[in-house]
């Protein structure tokens, strides 16, 4: 699976082990991930299940108003540096940092409204310099800030994230078949 994910070269590749039970396995070109937010949202949408089973644990799913949302624990998204910048323009202007540190660069677009501009730099040195939509990082940020967020990431992906009961954080958005 790792070799195949490396050949594909996508940010993440999801392998479906049991579609009816929602059992999935997630890989980047260089590592297996116990959890990844954006792939979980897409897999939940595609499979139509009410929960996913990942290596990190069980992931509840809900659908509402054309959106697909998943709930997970912030600690399932370790190893990310959340780096706040003073403006969305600063985030836009960032160069890709050298490999070595997983950086989620973010800035408020409108703090009162909870809108954020973000970019994600996995820093693994595996050919994925920037990730277009990083649900685990958005989930982690919403958990740390303790509030609902609308995150614009990459060239225009929108992720919705916010705290839920029981220490969970939700992340989701609108999924479209490409």
Domains of the chain: 2-173 (3.10.310)
**Residue 154 has what pLDDT?**
87
Amino acid 33: pLDDT:
96
Residue by residue, DSSP assigns 65-101 as TTEEEEEE-GGGS-S-EEEE-S-HHHHHHPPPPPTTS
pLDDT tens sequence across 82-104 = 999 999 999 999 999 999 999 99
pLDDT tens for each residue of 14-55: 999 999 999 999 999 999 999 999 999 999 999 999 999 999
pTM of the model: 0.94
* CA 98-108-131 angle, 5° bins: 35
Instruction: Count other Cβ atoms within 10 Å, centred on residue 56.
Output: 18
The pLDDT value given to residue 120: 97
What pLDDT does residue 178 have?
77
Categorize the per-residue pLDDT at 132 as very low, low, confident or very high, splitting at 50, 70 and 90. very high
Show Cβ contacts of residue 45 under 8 Å, excluding neighbours closer than 6 positions.
Answer: 63, 68, 175
């Amino acid at each position: 699976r790792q070799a195949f994910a490396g050949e594909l070269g996508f940010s993440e590749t999801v392998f479906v082990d049991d579609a009816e039970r929602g059992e999935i396995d997630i890989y980047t070109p260089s590592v297996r991930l116990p959890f990844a937010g954006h792939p979980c949202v897409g897999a939940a949408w595609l499979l139509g299940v009410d929960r996913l089973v990942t290596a990190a644990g069980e992931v509840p799913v809900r659908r509402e108003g054309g959106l697909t949302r998943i709930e997970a624990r912030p600690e399932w998204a370790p190893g990310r540096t959340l780096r706040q910048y003073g403006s969305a323009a600063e985030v836009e202007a960032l160069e890709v940092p050298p490999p070595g540190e997983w950086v989620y660069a973010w800035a408020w677009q409108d703090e009162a409204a909870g809108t954020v501009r973000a970019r994600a730099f996995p820093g693994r040195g595996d050919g994925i310099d920037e990730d277009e939509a990083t649900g685990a990082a958005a989930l982690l940020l919403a958990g740390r800030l303790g509030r609902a967020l609308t995150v614009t990431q990459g060239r225009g992906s929108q992720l919705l994230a916010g705290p839920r009961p029981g220490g969970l954080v939700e992340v989701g958005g609108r999924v479209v078949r490409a």
